[in-house]
Structure 1
Amino acid sequence: MTGEKTKGRKRHIVTDTMGNLLCIHVHAANIHDTKGGIYTFEKALYRYPTIQAGCADGGYRGTFRNTFDEFHNIRIDISMQIKEQKGFQVLPKRWVVERTFAWLNGSRRLSKDYETSCCSAETMIMISHAATLLKRL
């Protein structure tokens, strides 16, 4: 898998436990994911300084976790896939972000990579999320 080119964009999203969107970062898929994730989480920390802990996918173990332990004194829990798992099972706390991605995939423009710039992709995510939350009122 190393050296393999990926087309499209990567989306790093920080949500709270209620599923509210705190921060988004969209970038070209050929940039290493951890860099985008660190940028997004630090941006969320700047806007919401009361954040005390976070959860991330297994792809963020290592540099990402160490950065927040050392420099921000924030505990990051990494959700790893369970080897004995058969079929779909909800992993602890990971369902919050997975649920948010599922809500966003209901938007037609986010189902494929239609956007020409990362800025317009971020804007479409915010519009789609706002529409989803307004429907729930």
Structure 2
Amino acid sequence: MIDSQSVKADAVVGSDSGGFDGGKLVSGRKRHVVVDTLGLLLGVMVTGADTGDRAVARVLLAQVADAHHRLALVWADAGYTGSLIEHCLAALALVVSIVKRSDGQKGFVVLPKRWIVERFFAHLMQSRRLVRDFERRTTSAESMVYWSMTLLMSRRLTAGRRGRQA
């Protein structure tokens, strides 16, 4: 699953790495993530909020496909339509499947398969450091997302052992 999240930036974030997301009316940065079906992070890229999802998806999906050779199918929302689908199939051998909402649905509805990445974003929001982007460099912001992911993975690994004594 691929998706993006716009977050407000702190005053220390330079204007060269920030931007304004007109769709969400957020001034700051955008976190683009690829997660697997368990909601574990496969790749992240932090850009200015004014950067388009499709442009970043080309680069991010290429990085993820290089690192994870068994990746064959990527679910995405309607923001990733267009030439990205043909590019991923031709250049990366990835099938991008667009998860669409039903015609009768109104308002905010979490669609099938989309809840996986939405749950990941909810986990990021539990990390106090990631509620707002405080990092000067985008690489530091990406590292904070990876750090939060290690906390989630270690919690999942020890979840079955809480009642046992060593």
Q: Same fold (TM over 0.5)?
A: yes
User: TM-score normalized by structure 2?
Assistant: 0.73
State the identity %.
Answer: 36
CA drift at 1:74: 2.0
Structure 1: gaps spanning 5 or more residues: none
Q: How many residues align?
A: 134
* C-alpha spacing 1:90/1:30, structure 2 compared with 1 (3 Å): closer
The ranges of structure 1 where at least 4 consecutive aligned residues each deviate by more than 6 angstroms after the TM superposition are none
Q: Partner residue of 1:109?
A: 129
CA drift at 1:82: 3.1
The 5 A counterparts of 1:14-53 are: 14-53=34-73
Q: Partner residue of 1:85?
A: 105
Is 1:75 equivalent to 2:95 in the alignment?
Answer: yes
**Match for residue 114 of structure 2 among 94, 100, 103:** 94
Q: CA RMSD in A?
A: 1.8
User: Counterpart amino acid of 1:77?
Assistant: S
Q: Which has the higher contact order (CA 8 A, sep 6+)?
A: 2
Structure 2: gaps spanning 5 or more residues: 1-18, 22-26, 159-166
Which structure has the bigger radius of gyration? Answer: 2
Given that 1:52 and 1:75 are in contact with CA atoms closer than 8 Å, whether structure 2 keeps it comes out as yes
User: TM-score normalized by structure 1?
Assistant: 0.87
